[in-house]
Structure 1
């Protein structure tokens, strides 16, 4: 029997590429997206795709009930998420709540419901998509940083609570990967941040609003294949790693976080 996996946030980027890769390599993939047009597109490409809004507990239960009606649940990849740029003082509490609803609370709800199934069956894999920004922080990324730091704390706790089981929680720390993430983040910035008159107006214009195309020879921005390699290991290794660093940027910044003082690291991060 094929191992099955539920993947959230499959409309583009890492979720999209992972769903196709695993589908082509023997997995039974349940690819999900929040918009009906994305679900239709995924189905037209040969994927078993379903509508799933991770902020809806009832929607999550419905899809899990469907998957486990005749089979067990091998794995979940909590990939859905978005970025909300803007300085902390320019981000409203409502915008911060919106960031957490998808990036953290939705992830927690799917994890919580999945664990009930996995505890009953005695095994499972839960892959949580964090970020290099769950390890270090960058300015104008406060909402996103906070949501990813929250995931780190949740995963560290879950590992302790699941230590005597065959249910593994793996944190996927992804650095810059080519996707629609930056474009979608810019939309959220324009939606939720009033940049005109902000003390950071000039920086916003220079660093966020000006069009900057990704360079193919950029040594830090990679294609999603670097992430998929680690996802496969997390799914197939007898004892998967607790944490997977993806891209050179994640490895470098993760190492600097461990060896530098806070003030020394801040001097580097302010330049990024």
Structure 2
């Protein structure tokens, strides 16, 4: 069975992405700590279980699922953690917790899934304009934005390392999208793009973009932030 794996699916872009993929006929493995919203969709094309990307035991659970099932046509690294605090008030533990999800978790799940992907597979990581060098930066996001910069460089390195064997690796650096996480980062700000609109774009790019791009960082933003 062929799957698209999406992380961070309990709300926002990830939730909308799973719905769109399933409605388009793709088998989806939706991974999130809170899998209840996805289960409530009761969509036969979506499988899910509670999954913390920073948990070694949960990643072993994913490994068991893959061994039993499947080929992965796309991995969409969408899960993210945000801490919005002044740098001097952000503890070392809080800083590490952001990197555990946004960087180390992405690296770990990618390493785990790669053996189940063919040359024509696609690993797509959802990053942020805050991780782009030279972009507008905002106080309170030192852990989040720096972690999002780290996965951009990781994407470029993996594309180089696997350029002969595949799969392809790309990243989308998103600007403001109207999600719960945006509200946490910028309370009261209204984004010009809805979660559903961005999910449509991401789905199309995840399924087709790797035919034109590899090792690329695409800035997907019509606003600042």
Please give the range of the TM-score, normalised by the shorter of the 2 chains. Answer: 0.7 to 0.9
Q: Distance in 2 between matches of 1:238 and 1:212?
A: 36
Please, which of 31, 37, 40 is the counterpart of residue 41 of structure 1? 37
**Paired residues of 2:168 and 2:210 also in contact (CA < 8 A):** no
Runs of 4+ deviating beyond 4 Å: none
Q: Normalized against structure 1, the TM-score is what?
A: 0.72
The aligned counterpart of 2:206 is 234
Larger Rg over CA atoms? 1
Aligned partners of 2:144 and 2:220: how far apart in 1?
18
- In the aligned structure 1, how far is the partner of 2:149 from the partner of 2:79? 16
| Structure 2 CA distance for aligned equivalents of residues 77 and 237 of structure 1 | 12
Q: Tell me by how many angstroms 1:123 deviates.
A: 4.2
How big is the shift at 1:111? 0.8
Residue by residue over 1:228-251, the C-alpha shift from the partner in whole angstroms, topping out at 9 and shown as x without a partner, is: 3243123224614323322312xx
Partner of 2:219: 245
d(CA) in 1 for partners of 2:120, 2:64: 17
Q: 1:103 to 1:170 in 2, by over 3 A?
A: same
Richer in helix (by share): 1
User: What is the alpha-carbon distance in structure 2 between the residues aligned to residue 76 and residue 246 of structure 1?
Assistant: 19
Asked if residue 221 in structure 1 is aligned to residue 218 in structure 2, the reply is no
Pair 1:173–1:148, CA change in 2 (3 A)? same
Query: Is the contact made by 1:32 and 1:49 (CA closer than 8 Å) also made in structure 2?
Result: yes
Q: How large is the Cα RMSD of the aligned pairs? A: 2.2
Q: Deviations over 1:181-205 (max 9, x none)?
A: 134x36xxxxxxxxxxxxxxxxxxx
Instruction: Please report how far the alpha carbon of residue 104 of structure 1 lies from its aligned counterpart in structure 2 after TM superposition.
Output: 1.1
| Consecutive unaligned residues in structure 2, runs of 5 or more | none
Whichever structure has more strand as a proportion of its residues is: 2
Structure 1: state its 5+ residue gaps: 187-207, 215-219, 254-271
**Secondary structure at the counterpart of residue 211 of structure 2:** coil
- Give SS of 2:69's match: coil
Tell me how far apart the structure 2 counterparts of residues 67 and 116 of structure 1 sit (CA, whole Å): 10
- In the alignment, the residues of structure 1 paired with residue 81 and residue 59 of structure 2 have an alpha-carbon distance, to the nearest angstrom, of 19
Q: Which residue of 1 aligns with 2:12?
A: 13
Q: Give the TM-score of the pair, scaled to structure 2.
A: 0.86
